[in-house]
Structure 1
Amino acid sequence: MGVIILKKVKLLHRTPKGKLIGITSVQPQINSFVFFKDGKKKIGKIYDIFGPANKPYVKIIPLNDSTAESALKSQEAYISNEDKKRRNKRDSGKRFGKK
């Protein structure tokens, strides 16, 4: 298991469609999860990256409205570099009649 590094994001505002806009100093990956400072509670995930490469802006889809409001009040969030691999339902060891 590798070390999880959290990259800081400064949250700027909310779009009319409800997405959050933030700025960071590193280039994150699309679909990375964004967390509160404690690194446990999710805010949402990165939907889009735009702007200059050295200070990119990120568009975040929040999980819900109350999470988005709480995140904007704190004005900072963190992006996780952890790769969460999804398990395919077929990989559960139960295919082809095996139990």
Structure 2
Amino acid sequence: MKKLGTVLHISSQMNIVVRSNFVPKIGKRSIVSDEKQKKVGYVYDAIGSVNKPYLLIKPLNKNQNYSNLIGENLYIKKIGKKFKKK
């Protein structure tokens, strides 16, 4: 697991806003977890500077209140390269 960044706030569209030091792959395969390795959502978009981007995390459960994550660190699973056998 690699540290993705710190949760800043929850947007009006219920996306989790995270300040990060890098831009991960965007999409449903980029699963984001909390410190207890509980799945929170996936990386939906990256905005701002490439060096210090703000990431939008789309929650997996839209009915859950994620305000308790503010100030907490989120993590992303490292995705290795897949090689094809010849």
TM-score (structure 1 length as normaliser)? 0.67
Q: Give the number of the structure with larger relative contact order, counting CA–CA contacts within 8 Å between residues 6 or more apart.
A: 2
- Provide the alpha-carbon RMSD of the alignment: 2.1
1:68 corresponds to which of 66, 69, 73: 66
Task: Name whichever structure is richer in helix by fraction.
Answer: 1
Contact 1:50–1:56 (CA<8 Å) still a contact in 2?
yes
Corresponding position of 1:55: 52
Flag the 1:9–1:69 CA change in 2: closer, same or farther, 3 A: same
SS, match of residue 64 in structure 2: helix
Note the 1:84-99 alignment, pairs <5 A. Answer: none
TM superposition shift of 1:67: 5.8
Structure 2: 5+ residue stretches without partners? none
TM superposition shift of 1:81: 2.0
Task: Render the CA deviation track for 1:3-47: whole Å, top value 9, x for unaligned.
Answer: xx4123110011111111111111211021110113x31000000
Corresponding pairs, count: 78
Task: Name whichever structure is richer in strand by fraction.
Answer: 2
**% identity of equivalent residues:** 31
Note the 1:27-66 alignment, pairs <5 A. Answer: 27-31=23-27, 32-38=30-36, 40-64=37-61, 65-66=63-64
